[in-house]
């Protein structure tokens, strides 16, 4: 066994807890999780059955933590997990799993399969079996500050543009603001309108906000690759900035996994509760709306539908707010089949969109989205995750479907009354 492999197995042993032991002891091989997974439904290949993706972890559990497993290992009945196997499993653990969590909510015995995939990735990453695309993203996040290699000057340049275009001030490193706003690289490079929208909305509702020059990027490739040490480095950067600026609330951008990393994993990664609140931008807008602060005018008249980012809805508990907001600005808002809690993933979450060799499979799996769109035939598609947005646009282009994709925050911002 190589040294990295040894490390991988050691990490896997460390991540196994009562949950994982209970889950593996409960599986009856009913196969119901397969039908919940877009990589199985769109390929029909049984190897994409979610529980099967965990086979290396299951073997380590059995051999290290069960009486008969230990005996079996002793007398040579059960073989130890090999490096070659982990390499083979890379496709199953990363390319064909977006951590969307549909399997975890249909399993009849209650297995949280995604929880286990997340843990298996720790061992895959430690043993050097993570995909190159994700490795690169992690290295760039840790050394440069963002997975796409964006540095502060790029952010500052965008701030300048936004200030000129929207005629409003974008605060940087302001102490004691109500909100510390985080961005995702995608928004900095591809969707500058997000930052402008935030500025307009905050101005309109009368809240103070700021960006931080030390932490502006919220996406967490460390979590996606399954390296908690690196995930911690990335989260700590945000925690330090928030505490230094004494921000009351940190706003996670329109990015699903950034939200999960910060909202649910963050405190566990740094080993203590946060001193500030973490909210997704859609939650914040929902709150403004509930408090009567969000005034809009005019309605979109074309047919709009909403793609729920998995980490926001099913894995994050934010399901109603986006619907309230949609109905506030669109008179013809229609729901796709399975929308909301059971919405189908775009196919690019959990770091999958950063894996080049997974593209063909990803586009194949996208057929499920095309079916959803065809069921309601919308004029435009709204979402609240910059990564979903890119993946949706790529998928739509591949299937030659003309359907513009927009972000919900900017859609809401377009309907704010003009400042007097």
Partner 1 sequence: MDHLAFLTWVRGTGLDIALSLFVFGVLWRLIEIYGLGVKKDLSEPRAGEAASGWHTIWRRSFPQKEAMMKSPVTYAGGIIFHFGLAIVVLFFVPHILLIKDMFGFGWPGLPSQVIDLVTVVTMVAMILVLVDRLVKPVKRFLSTKADYITWVLTFMPLLTGWLAVQHLLLPYTLMLAIHILSVEILLIVLPFSKLFHAFTAFGSRWYNGEVNGHKGVAV
Residues that bind partner 1 (CB under 8 A): 16-19, 21-23, 25-32, 34-36, 40, 44, 46-47, 49, 51-52, 65-68, 104-112, 115, 263-268, 271-274, 277-278, 314-317, 319, 338, 341-342
Cα gap 224→350, rounded to integer Å:
5
Question: Other C-beta atoms within 10 Å of 363: how many?
Answer: 17
Listing from the earlier edge strand, what are the strands of the sheet with 277-280?
209-210, 179-181, 249-252, 277-280
Q: Which residues contact 285 (CB under 8 A, 6 or more apart)?
A: 201, 294, 321, 325, 408, 409, 412
Minimum CB distance to partner 1 smaller for 218 or for 416: 218
- Shortest approach of partner 1 to residue 214 CB, angstroms? 22
Least CB distance from residue 278 to partner 1, whole Å? 8
Q: Minimum distance between the CB of residue 36 and partner 1, rounded to whole angstroms?
A: 7
CB nearer to partner 1: pick between 200 and 257? 257
Which residue number, 189 or 319, has a Cβ lying nearer to partner 1? 319
Between CA 256 and CA 146 the distance in angstroms is 16
d(CA 277, CA 338): 31
CB of 21 to partner 1, least distance (A): 4
Query: In the complex with partner 1, which residue's Cβ is closer, 24 or 306?
Result: 24
Looking at the Cβ atoms of 52 and 135, the one nearer to partner 1 is 52
Count other C-beta atoms under 10 Å from residue 175's C-beta.
Answer: 10
**Residue pair 30/102 in contact by the 8 Å Cβ criterion:** no
| Shortest distance, position 50 Cβ to partner 1, whole Å | 10
Contact 369, 104 (CB under 8 A): no
Task: Compute, in degrees rounded to 10, the torsion defined by CA atoms 16, 22, 26, 32.
Answer: -60
Cα separation, 108 vs 26, whole angstroms: 10
Q: How far apart are CA 9 and CA 60, in angstroms?
A: 7
Q: Between 40 and 191, whose beta carbon lies closer to partner 1?
A: 40
Residue 33 or 405: which CB sits closer to partner 1? Answer: 33
Secondary structure element (H or E) that encloses residue 279, with its range: strand 277-280
Report the residue number, 272 or 402, with the smaller CB distance to partner 1: 272
Rounded least distance, CB 17 to partner 1, Å: 5
Smallest gap, in angstroms, from Cβ of residue 319 to partner 1? 7
Between 60 and 197, CB nearer to partner 1: 60
Q: How far apart are CA 38 and CA 343, in angstroms?
A: 11
Could you give the CA distance from residue 42 to residue 45 in angstroms, rounded to a whole number? 8
**Vertex 187 angle, CA 183 and 188, to 5°:** 85
CB distance 330 to 299 below 8 Å: yes
Give the contacts of 292 (CB within 8 A, at least 6 positions apart).
none
Cβ 318 to partner 1, closest distance in Å?
Answer: 8
Nearest approach, Cβ of 275 to partner 1 (angstroms)? 11
């Amino acid at each position: 066994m190589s040294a990295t492999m040894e490390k991988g197995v050691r990490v896997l042993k460390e991540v196994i807890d009562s949950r994982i032991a209970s889950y593996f002891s409960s599986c009856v091989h009913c196969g119901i999780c397969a039908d919940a997974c877009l990589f199985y439904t769109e390929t029909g290949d049984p190897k994409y059955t979610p529980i099967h993706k965990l086979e290396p972890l299951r073997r380590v559990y059995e051999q290290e933590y069960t009486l008969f497993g230990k005996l079996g290992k002793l007398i040579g009945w059960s073989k130890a997990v090999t490096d070659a196997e982990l390499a083979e499993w890379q496709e199953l653990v990363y390319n064909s799993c977006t951590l969307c969590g549909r399997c975890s909510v249909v399993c009849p015995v209650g297995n949280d399969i995604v929880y286990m995939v997340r843990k298996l990735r720790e061992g895959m990453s430690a043993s050097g079996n993570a995909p190159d695309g994700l490795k690169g993203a992690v290295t760039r996040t840790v050394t440069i500050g963002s997975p796409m290699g964006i540095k502060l000057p790029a952010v500052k340049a965008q701030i300048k543009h936004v200030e000129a275009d929207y005629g409003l001030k974008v605060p940087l490193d302001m102490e004691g603001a109500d909100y510390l706003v985080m961005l995702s690289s995608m928004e900095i490079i591809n969707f500058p309108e997000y930052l402008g929208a935030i500025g307009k909305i905050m101005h309109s509702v009368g809240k103070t906000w700021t960006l931080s020059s030390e932490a502006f990027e919220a996406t967490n490739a460390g979590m996606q690759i399954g390296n908690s040490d690196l995930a911690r480095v990335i989260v700590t950067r945000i925690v330090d900035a928030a505490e230094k600026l004494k921000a009351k609330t940190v706003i996670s951008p329109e990015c699903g996994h950034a939200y999960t990393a910060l909202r649910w994993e963050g405190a566990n990664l740094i080993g203590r509760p946060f001193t500030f609140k973490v909210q997704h931008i859609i939650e914040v807008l929902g709150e403004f709306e509930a408090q009567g602060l969000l005034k809009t005018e005019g309605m979109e008249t074309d047919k709009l539908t909403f793609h729920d980012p998995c980490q926001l809805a099913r894995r994050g508990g934010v399901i109603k707010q986006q619907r309230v907001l949609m109905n506030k600005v669109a008179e013809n808002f229609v729901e796709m089949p399975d929308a909301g809690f059971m919405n189908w993933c775009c196919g690019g979450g959990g770091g999958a969109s950063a894996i080049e060799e997974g593209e063909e499979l990803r586009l194949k799996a996208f057929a499920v989205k095309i079916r959803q769109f065809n069921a309601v035939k919308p004029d435009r598609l709204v979402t609240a995750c910059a990564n979903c947005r890119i993946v949706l646009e790529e998928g739509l282009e591949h299937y030659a479907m003309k359907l513009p994709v927009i972000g919900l925050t900017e859609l809401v911002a377009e309907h704010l009354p003009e400042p007097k």
